[in-house]
Amino acid sequence: MAYIKSIQTISHYGIFRNFVGTQLHPFGSKNLIYGWNGSGKSTLTSLFEAVETGKLDTARFPLAQFSLAEDGGATVSSGSIADCGLNVKTFNTSFVQKNINW
């Protein structure tokens, strides 16, 4: 199964106004994202969750655009999100709220 290898661009998506991922290390098959409060972790994982579900939140981010490279060389973008076959699992606050009954 294909997975996200790298982020090429993210624009108009939360804190990511015009992000180009040329200086990021490539992702592996499993990744941990961490950082300071307000650095974009939740926003980035919500983008990955959108890739997982095939639905971009256009109500919240109407102008959002992104481009991700797959490990096989293909590209997934905001225009092709519904048709991508990436193996993405996101375990974030949204996942906990939807799946764990305290």
Residues 53-81: pLDDT tens digits?
888 888 999 999 999 998 888 899 999 98
Within 1-102, strands assigned E span 4-13, 16-20, 65-70, 75-77
pLDDT of residue 44: 92
Q: What is the pTM for the complete model shown?
A: 0.85
Q: 6-29 burial, b for 16+ CB within 10 Å, e for fewer?
A: ebbbbbebbebeebebeeeeebee
Identify the residue whose tokens are 């992702």: 27
Does 29 have pLDDT greater than 90?
no
Mean pLDDT of 31-46: 92
The two structure tokens encoding residue 58: 């256009």
